[in-house]
Structure 1
Amino acid sequence: MSVLQNALVLTARQGAFAISPISIPTPDRGQLLIKVQAAALNPVDWKVQANGIIVTDYPAILGTDIAGVVEELGDGVEGFRKGDRVLTQGYFHNTHAGFQQFTLANADVTAKIPSHLTFEQAATIPVGLGTAALGLYTQNVPPGVDFGSARLIPPWDPLGRGRYVGKPFMVLGASSSVGQYVLQLARLSGFSPIIATASLHNATHLQSLGATHVLDRQLSAFDLRTEVAKITSKPFDVIFDAVSLPATQNAAYEILAYGGCLIVVLYPRININPSTQAPGREKRVEKAFGQVNFPPENRAVGATLYRNLTALLEEGLIRPNRVEILPGGLAAAVAGLDRLRNGTVSGVKLVLRPQETT
Structure 2
Amino acid sequence: MSTTSNQAAWLDGQGKQLRVAEADMPKASEDEVIIRNYAVAVNPVDWKIQDSGMYIKQWPVVLGCDVAGEVYEVGSNVKSFKKGDRVISHATSLLSSDSSQGGFQIYTKGSSKTTAIIPKSTSYAEGSVLPLAVDTAIVGLCSEQPKGLGLPFPSLDAKPCGKTIVVWGGSSSVGALCIQLATAAGVKVVTVASSHNFDLCKRCGATEVFDYKKASVVDDVVGAVKSAGGEFAGVYDAISLQDQSYKYTLPILEKLGGGVLSVVLGPPESVPKNVTPAGVFGISPLTYPVWESYITQALEQGKLLCVPEPLIVGKGLESIQKGLDKNKEGVSAKKVVIEL
Q: TM-score, normalised by structure 2?
A: 0.90
Secondary structure of the residue aligned to 2:311 is: strand
> C-alpha displacement at 1:139, in angstroms?
3.8
Q: Contact between 1:27 and 1:104, CA under 8 Å: does it hold in 2?
A: yes
Structure 2 counterparts to residues 24-39 of structure 1, below 5 A: 24-39=25-40
Q: 1:226 and 2:195 equivalent?
A: no
How many angstroms apart in 2 are the aligned matches of 1:23 and 1:250? Answer: 46
How many angstroms apart in 1 are the aligned matches of 2:209 and 2:176? Answer: 12
Residues 94, 214 of structure 1: alpha-carbon distance in 2 compared, 3 angstrom cutoff: same
Q: Contact between 1:253 and 1:270, CA under 8 Å: does it hold in 2?
A: no
How many angstroms apart in 2 are the aligned matches of 1:139 and 1:251? Answer: 24
Count of residue pairs brought into register by the alignment: 327
How many angstroms apart in 2 are the aligned matches of 1:334 and 1:140? Answer: 39
RMSD over aligned Cα atoms: 2.0
> C-alpha displacement at 1:326, in angstroms?
2.0
Q: 1:331 and 2:318 equivalent?
A: yes
Aligned to 1:144: none
How many angstroms apart in 2 are the aligned matches of 1:76 and 1:104? Answer: 15
> C-alpha displacement at 1:164, in angstroms?
2.5
How many angstroms apart in 1 are the aligned matches of 2:302 and 2:83? Answer: 26
> C-alpha displacement at 1:229, in angstroms?
4.3
Secondary structure of the residue aligned to 1:49 is: helix
- Structure 1: gaps spanning 5 or more residues: 142-147, 293-297
Map Cα deviations across residues 177-221 of structure 1 (whole Å, 9 max, x no partner): 0000011112112223x222111111112111112222112234x
Q: Which moved more, 1:22-31 or 1:228-237?
A: 228-237
> C-alpha displacement at 1:16, in angstroms?
2.0
> C-alpha displacement at 1:231, in angstroms?
3.0
Aligned to 1:211: 206
- Structure 2: gaps spanning 5 or more residues: none
How many angstroms apart in 2 are the aligned matches of 1:183 and 1:241? Answer: 12
Q: Contact between 1:38 and 1:68, CA under 8 Å: does it hold in 2?
A: yes
Aligned to 2:336: 350
Structure 2 counterparts to residues 65-80 of structure 1, below 5 A: 65-80=66-81
Map Cα deviations across residues 26-50 of structure 1 (whole Å, 9 max, x no partner): 1111111110111000000000100
Secondary structure of the residue aligned to 1:15 is: coil
How many angstroms apart in 1 are the aligned matches of 2:103 and 2:68? Answer: 9
Map Cα deviations across residues 81-117 of structure 1 (whole Å, 9 max, x no partner): 1100011100223111111000111112211111210
Q: Contact between 1:236 and 1:255, CA under 8 Å: does it hold in 2?
A: no
Secondary structure of the residue aligned to 1:327 is: strand
Map Cα deviations across residues 50-109 of structure 1 (whole Å, 9 max, x no partner): 001112221111111011101111111112111000111002231111110001111122
How many angstroms apart in 2 are the aligned matches of 1:198 and 1:43? Answer: 18
Aligned to 1:295: none
Map Cα deviations across residues 119-162 of structure 1 (whole Å, 9 max, x no partner): 11111110111111111112499xxxxxx32222212398xx33
Q: 1:101 and 2:100 equivalent?
A: no
> C-alpha displacement at 1:302, in angstroms?
2.0
* Equivalent of 2:304 in 294, 298, 318: 318
| Percent of pairs with identical residues | 30
Could you tell me which amino acid in structure 2 is paired with residue 207 of structure 1? K
How many angstroms apart in 1 are the aligned matches of 2:111 and 2:222? Answer: 45
Could you tell me which amino acid in structure 1 is paired with residue 38 of structure 2? Q
Q: TM-score, normalised by structure 1?
A: 0.86
How many angstroms apart in 2 are the aligned matches of 1:157 and 1:212? Answer: 19
Q: 1:21 and 2:7 equivalent?
A: no
How many angstroms apart in 2 are the aligned matches of 1:326 and 1:229? Answer: 39
Runs ≥4 residues deviating over 6 A: none
Secondary structure of the residue aligned to 2:262 is: strand
Secondary structure of the residue aligned to 2:257 is: strand
Aligned to 1:187: 183
Could you tell me which amino acid in structure 2 is paired with residue 302 of structure 1? T
Q: Contact between 2:151 and 2:185, CA under 8 Å: does it hold in 1?
A: no
Structure 2 counterparts to residues 290-329 of structure 1, below 5 A: 291-292=282-283, 298-299=284-285, 301-308=286-293, 309-321=295-307, 322-329=309-316
